[in-house]
Amino acid sequence: MDKPNVIREKSYAFSLLIIKLYWTMQKDLREFVLSKQVLRSGTSIGANVEEALQARSKKDFVAKLSISLQEAHETRYWLRLMCDSVLPLTEEIRLHIRTLLKDIEEIIAILTSIIRSSKSSLDE
């Protein structure tokens, strides 16, 4: 069994919440464009973390995690856009998005930290 990995677990849990948001927005609001964008970028974070964990080198590891970080920033953008737009969000959806915004900030911080420490060990 794999040992616990914080970024793997957090990005996977985040993906599940993104999928829930996607389905809720499609079902309740009939909103298909923004929800699809956040689904794509939000689930891509964890997929790239998984790829990074199978990297063939430290350089490849950093490259894959850097893609995860880019996707996390994009996801944050879409979530902010949804929250600040004129979409007729229910209070439940708005709360869900606020929770996701807190989660994505934490994921961004973790990814940034891992990338920085991995890059510094490449320079040694």
122 CB neighbour count, 10 Å cutoff: 12
**Residue 32 within any structural domain of the chain:** yes
In a domain, 95, yes or no: yes
The pTM (predicted TM-score) of the whole model is 0.92
DSSP letters, 46-106, are HHHHHHHHT-SSHHHHHHHHHHHHHHHHHHHHHHHHHHHSS----HHHHHHHHHHHHHHHH
Residue 1 in domain: no
Range of the domain at 112: 6-123
What total of structural domains would you count in the chain? 1
User: Residue 47 has what pLDDT?
Assistant: 98
Classified as helix, coil or strand, 87 is coil
Question: What pLDDT does residue 120 have?
Answer: 86
Question: Burial of 44 by CB count in 10 Å (0-12 exposed, 13-18 middle, 19+ buried)?
Answer: buried
The tens digit of pLDDT for each residue in 46-70 reads 999 999 999 999 999 999 999 999 9
What percent of the chain is modeled with pLDDT above 70?
A: 97
Asked whether residue 38 is assigned to any structural domain, the reply reads yes
Q: Residue 71: which CATH number?
A: 1.20.1440.60
